[in-house]
Amino acid sequence: MDLTTLIGLVLGILSLLIGFLLEGGTFAALIEGTAAMIVFGGTFGAVILSTPWKTLKRLPFILKYAFLEKRTEPEEMIEQLISLSNISRREGLLALEGHIDKLGDNAFLKEGIQMIVDGTEAEMIEDILNRKIERYEEEILSIGRMFEAAGGFAPTMGIIGTVMGLVHVLGSLDEPSKLGPSIAVAFVATLYGVSSANLIYLPIFNKIKARLQQEILLMELQAEGLMSIQYGENPTVLKSKLSAFLDQKSGKNSEFPGVSANG
């Protein structure tokens, strides 16, 4: 599991709880089943209503995408591309076919190498790779936007829960001793809505976008390397080219391009 995601989530929730307790509050005061049902049930219902089933059923996938660490460093990818370039220069492009199975589960790189081996025109390979990158980005964002939507719905559901609670309070004005606790319970719904949006839903969506940005950078790096292999560029030139590409995409300005990158 990605520890930064877990640490951030736990730290955010604990900070709120501990701060509340230090102010004299009690943990029991934060537990309100009706408010939870209104806020979380209403939020999930709104998300389900606004999301196509095809996207909704991929919720387990996007949760795994956000929380489980699966990363290839750009430096490793550069070295792999240089190795493939050396093979193609020594033995020819057709020799790359025997190394496709050694690329692991990297379907993007495998498909690119297969197109090179099959003799597909360079312009077509570049166009296909770029389209795949665009489609992948759109797919991940479309699924991840469920959390963005939840982050927008949750505070509103919290306000709805609070208003419903206050309506009940106003109907019981003949019992002044119960007004304080009842109002406190009513505002728990707002707390649930705002805190879940800003501690769970929106941070998870931002995490998905950050991870996607890293993946897109890696895919663009591979596309650049594949085109260089197709054109038969010297491996030394390829290394410098990919390092400069990585520095440019990472926002670095260095006189001496290196293979370091923001992971």
Percent of the chain with pLDDT over 90: 46
The reported pLDDT for the residue numbered 250 is: 66
Give 172's pLDDT tier (boundaries 50, 70, 90).
low
Over residues 230-239, the pLDDT tens digits come to 988 888 888 8
Write the CB contacts of 74 (distance below 8 Å, at least 6 apart in sequence): 217, 218, 221, 246, 259, 261, 263
CB atoms within 10 A of CB 151: 21
Q: What is the mean pLDDT of residues 82-93?
A: 89
pTM: 0.82
* Residue-level pLDDT at 221: 92
Q: What does the DSSP assignment read for 90-113? A: HH-GGGGGGGGGGGTT-HHHHHHH
Between CA 162 and CA 188 the distance in angstroms is 7
Residue 220 gets the label, from left (phi > 0), alpha (psi -120 to 50) or beta, of alpha
The maximal CA–CA distance of the chain, rounded, in angstroms, is 91
Contacts of 27 (CB under 8 A, 6+ apart): 17, 21
Query: In this predicted structure, what is the pLDDT of residue 60?
Result: 92
For residue range 108-154, list pLDDT tens digits in order.
999 999 999 998 898 999 999 999 999 999 999 999 999 999 999 99
Instruction: Name the band, by pLDDT with cuts 50, 70 and 90, for residue 1.
Output: low
Q: Say which DSSP state 103 is in.
A: G
